Each structure stands twice: as C-alpha cells, then as structure tokens.
Chains A and B, each alone.
Chain A
Amino acid sequence: MAKRIEVSGLNVYYGDFKAVEDVSMTIEPRSVTAFIGPSGCGKSTYLRTLNRMHEVIPGARVEGKVLLDQQDLYATGVDPVAVRRVVGMVFQRPNPFPTMSIFDNVASGLKLNGVKDKKKLTEVVEASLKGANLWNEVKDRLDKPGAGLSGGQQQRLCIARAIAVEPEVILMDEPCSALDPISTLAIEDLIEKLKDKFTVVIVTHNMQQAARVSDQTAFFNLAATGKPGRLIEIAPTKQIFSNPSEKATEDYITGRFG
C-alpha cells in the first residue's frame, strides 16, 4: 500500500491563466515529500492536481501526465472519484463533518461508499484512530460530535478519516498551519509513522517542519506576480537545506528572499 508518483511536463490552468508550469518529479513510495515556496507559487494548486481535486474549481484544467505506478490519472476514462479513493487528502483547516460523531467521521469514507458491516467499521475506526494517534484521547466518546474536539485533535481526526479508506497516497495541504506547536508536533510524529504505510506529500510554509519530516523537498517559486509558478528544485531534504544547487532555493531557505 503505497505507490510511486511520476509527474512529467505538468501545466495547470485556471481558465486562460497558467498557474503552474512544466513540473516534473518522481515521488517514491513510503516516503515524505515536502513542497515549500512562497505564497501563490502554485504548490497547493499542484498538490491538488495529484488527486484531481483542482477540478472542483470551474475552469481548472491540466496538461501533462501524472502516473501512479504506471497508471495515468488523466488518461481518458479515468474517474476522478476513483482517483480520490486511492489518493486521499488532508486540508489546511480541520474539517470534520459537523453532523457526524467521531466514529461516523472516521467511518464516513467507508459508509458513504457502501460498507455496512458493523464489525468491519468498528475495526477500521479503531485502527485508523490508533494510526492517527488519537485513539486514547477519544475512545470513551466515539459517539460525541467530531466538531467538539480541539483543533489539533480535529486535524488528527481528519487524518484518521483519510487513512480509514486505505489510500495509496496521502496529500496534506499545510496540515499544521492552523494548529499550536504542541498539536503540530503530534501531527509531525504522525507523519513520520504514516510513511511506513503510505506515500505522503505535504505542503508547508514552515521550513523547519519540512526539514524535520520530509525525505525529499521540492522548492517552488514564481518569477513575478501573474507569472506561473515553477518547480525550481527537488532533492533530498538534507541536500536542499545544506547545499542547494539553485541560488533561489538558497535565498529562500536562508530568508534572503525577495
């Protein structure tokens, strides 16, 4: 359970506006890849093309290839719903379903896709909550609403919800930006653990976080406002932070940017 992602020559458009230009990269299975870069450089947009989530926005389209173990996500006949079943996502702000209990939130992916077997659901919920390091905190109140948890707990609940459907890849779009340092640490520990089973891709504004959790780091930048974002460099995290090959990367990570 974890697949290699190979992207080649990817352009993303919103209508006529080119948001991301010519991105190619390989993401290894069971690894953590971090995307860093200034706001508006297209890293979140690009992340969303990896599970076709950008298609929610009218006018958004993509050129190029995204291969998931040889299978092109953009080949004709590919159903975005099926893509999202194998490529899950965790969002910037925790977004548990407000009408559902903690249990139902975690089980929602399975339940909404037709799994009714109570025993299986119970097992999956327990395993997912344990996988998200949340089980001990919520095991006595699984029937309480998910929205009643703290921000950090809610985010871990969302991660539990994402891993409950057993995806191959988990995309995280700034998962800690709305959380306090202690909750952030909990999520980072969790990411470390998730990589045993999943391919993890994380967008972050926090460079220390990228340095702490990721195996490889991709730096995105844009030439100027209104220009498309580009992938400047992708390399093992150690190398990016100690000896980047591009001047722009070095400027950004040392804070001499702009």
Chain B
Amino acid sequence: MTTIVENKPAYDGKALDLTGRSGSRAFKNTLATVLIVLAFVVALIPLVWILWTVVSKGYHLLLSADWWSQSQRGVTVRREGGGAYHAIMGTLIMALITAVIAVPIAIMGAVYLVEYGKGTKAARAVSFMVDILTGVPSIVAALFIYAVWITVFGFNRVGFAVSLSLVLLMLPVVLRSTEEMLKLVPDELREASYALGVPKWKTILKVVVPTAFGGIITGVMLGLARVMGETAPLLILVGYSKNINTNPFNGFMGALPTMINQDRTELALQPAADRVWAAALTLILLVLVLNLLARLVARFSTIKSK
C-alpha cells in the first residue's frame, strides 16, 4: 500500500505539465458550441419572423382608439374602420369562463394525484386519462361538446359551449404543470407542518400550494394561452358575430381567432388584410398582458425577499 508513496522522490525537479487541452478535445468543444448556437438561432428565426411580420403589418390599426372601442358592426371586408372590441370581449369572456371551471378542477386533481392518491390505482387511472386528454385535438373536443350540448340537450350554439370544450383542452395542461410544481415542494416542508400538529388538508392549503403558487400560475397562463388561440371550437360551437355580445348564454359571439378567419377569406383586399394582422397582434398582446399580470400577482402574493 505505502510503497508507491515511499518510492516517489519528494521533489524530482520537474514541473507538472498542466497546460492546454488536447487538439481533439478542443475541436469537439468548438463543434459542440457551434452546433448549440446554431440550434438556438434556428429556433429563434421563426419566432422573430412571426413577431416582426405581425407587428409590422398590424401595429398601425392598434394605434387608433376605434380598434379598442368599436365593433365590426356594418363594416364589410372592402371597407376600412371598425374595431376589435367585440372580438376582444368575446375572447376574454370565454377564456375567463374556461379558467373559472378548469383551474379549480385541475388544481384539485393535481393535489389528489400528488398528496392523496400516490401509487393507488385510482391515481394511475386519473393520470392515464389526463395523458389521453392532453392528446385530444381541439376539433374533437369541440365536436364532443357539440354532441352533448346541441345534439343531446338541444341548446343553441353559444359562447358558453365554447368554454366547455376549451375546459377539456385547458384542464390537462394546468393539471400536469400543477402536478409537477407540487412534486417540487420538498417533503421536509410537509413534515415540518405535520410536526406542528397541523392537519394534512391545512398543510396542503397553507404550506404546499402557496410554496408552489408561482409555478401553478405559470401553468394556468400556459393553459390560457393555448386556449385563447383555439379556433375549431369557435367555428363549431358559436357563430362569428360582428356585433358586441357579452352574454355567453345567448347568441353568436365575436372572438379574435374567428375575426382573423372572417377577414382571411378576402386577404387580397387591403382593409381586410390589415384587420387580420391587427387582430393577430391583439391576440398575442392579450396573452402577453395576461402573462405579465399573472407574474405580478405571483410576485406580490409571496413575501418580498430581501
């Protein structure tokens, strides 16, 4: 054991060679760096391109007050004028109803999966169903609600039906992300709470969920962003209206995706084309603003650090 040490002279007068990487390693390093940067640039190209196109072609309509306060009532594809107020309201109302229904179910489902059902057959079944739901195309969700809402119950095509189908799309997104966030909460915090004689349900409500709150909000925003751009449920479950309609239980409703779709048919005409780009930009901005708001909420709901 000790012979190696003993045989080695204390100081042999030669300095260790610690310089430089070998040629092949330096080459591989450069190659990998170039590839990674290239991948980043390639991924960035479509994003920047889309943003540039939408902003440059759509921004000028957004500068007018009419855009934010007027509907398209009486405006034909050949005419300029009118606004997107009806569509913005429609999109927001339907998204809000969707969130109000989907978020509580999703969060409670995630709490069940992480805190109560771990390893049980019921949890595995729920998890499996959520996976399937994640893969359901929006048009299938829309047709399902059409079958239930209109064919079976005989109701009319209204905004609320759209929200119901959007719930099916939003639920798995929010549930999965919430589940991941709850899993990230260390067990030590749960144990610390139990050790204070706090019951499990209160531990979840006051310790686990608040700790994961920022992540849960992000998941809700991802879900909302997905849902607000969906078009198939709008086409199938509510007709496009150029008028302002804020009642989700009665009549057709405008929405930004269907507004884009409406004018898209006459894209060769300048007024219609302008509105298409402006509506697209409005939709992007809407999602962005909601995102920022949610982040603010998440920040102010936790205590300030330092």
Give the total of B residues in contact with A, Cβ under 8 Å. 29
Q: Chain B residues with Cβ under 8 A from A93's Cβ? A: 188
Please name the residue on chain A nearest to B205 by beta carbon.
A112
Q: Is A204 an interface residue (CB 8 A)?
A: no
* C-alpha gap A106/B162 in the complex (Å): 48
Choose one: B190, B193, B194, B211; the contact of A98 (CB below 8 Å).
B211
**Which residues of the other chain, A, contact B203 by a CB distance below 8 angstroms?**
112
Complexed CA–CA distance, A165 and B192 (Å):
13
* A108 vs B206: C-alpha distance when bound (angstroms): 9
**Assembled-state Cα–Cα distance A136/B119 (Å):** 47
A91 touches B303 (CB 8 A): no
Q: Tell me the bound Cα distance from A91 to B189 in angstroms.
A: 10
A83 and B194 CA atoms in complex are apart in Å by 10
Q: Is the CB of B186 within 8 A of A95?
A: yes
**Is residue A51 within 8 Å, beta carbon to beta carbon, of the partner chain?**
yes
Task: Flag if B197 contacts A82 (CB, 8 Å).
Answer: yes
Interface contact B206-A112, CB-CB below 8 Å: yes
| B305 pairs with A53, CB closer than 8 A | no
Q: Find the A residue at minimum CB distance from B197.
A: A85
Would you call the interface of chain B mostly helix, strand, loop, or mixed? helix
A41 within 8 A of B: no
In A83-106, the 8 Å CB interface with B consists of 83-86, 88-91, 93, 95-101
Assembly CA distance A217 to B303 (angstroms): 42
Q: Which residues of A lie under 8 Å from residue B206 when comparing CB positions?
A: 108, 112
B191 CB-CB contact with A under 8 Å: yes
Q: Flag if B211 contacts A113 (CB, 8 Å).
A: no
Q: Are A112 and B186 touching (Cβ within 8 A)?
A: no
Given A98-B211, A112-B202, A143-B303; A165-B197 close (CB under 8 Å): yes
Chain A: number of interface residues, binned into ranges? 35 or more
B197–A56 contact, CB under 8 A?
A: no
Contact flag A97-B306 (CB < 8 Å), given A58-B118, A58-B119, A112-B206: no
A113 to B302, CA, bound (A): 21
Q: A56's contact among B191, B199, B202, by CB below 8 Å, is which?
A: B191
**Bound Cα distance A101, B145 (Å):** 47
Residues of A contacting B194 in the complex (Cβ-Cβ under 8 angstroms) = 53, 56, 81, 84
- CB proximity to A under 8 Å, residues B228-275: none
- Using A84-B194, A91-B195, A108-B198 as known contacts, list a sample of 12 further A-B pairs with CB atoms less than 8 Å apart, ordered by residue number in A: A81-B200, A84-B196, A88-B195, A96-B192, A99-B302, A108-B193, A112-B193, A112-B198, A112-B207, A113-B198, A148-B306, A161-B192
- A residues near B, CB below 8 A? 51, 53, 56, 58, 81-86, 88-91, 93, 95-101, 108-109, 112-113, 143-145, 147-148, 158, 161-162, 165
Nearest first, the 3 closest Cβ-Cβ pairs linking A and B are A85-B197, A109-B196, A89-B195
A-B contact pairs, 13 of them (CB 8 A): A53-B194, A53-B195, A90-B195, A91-B188, A91-B191, A96-B192, A98-B189, A99-B211, A99-B213, A99-B303, A112-B198, A145-B303, A165-B196
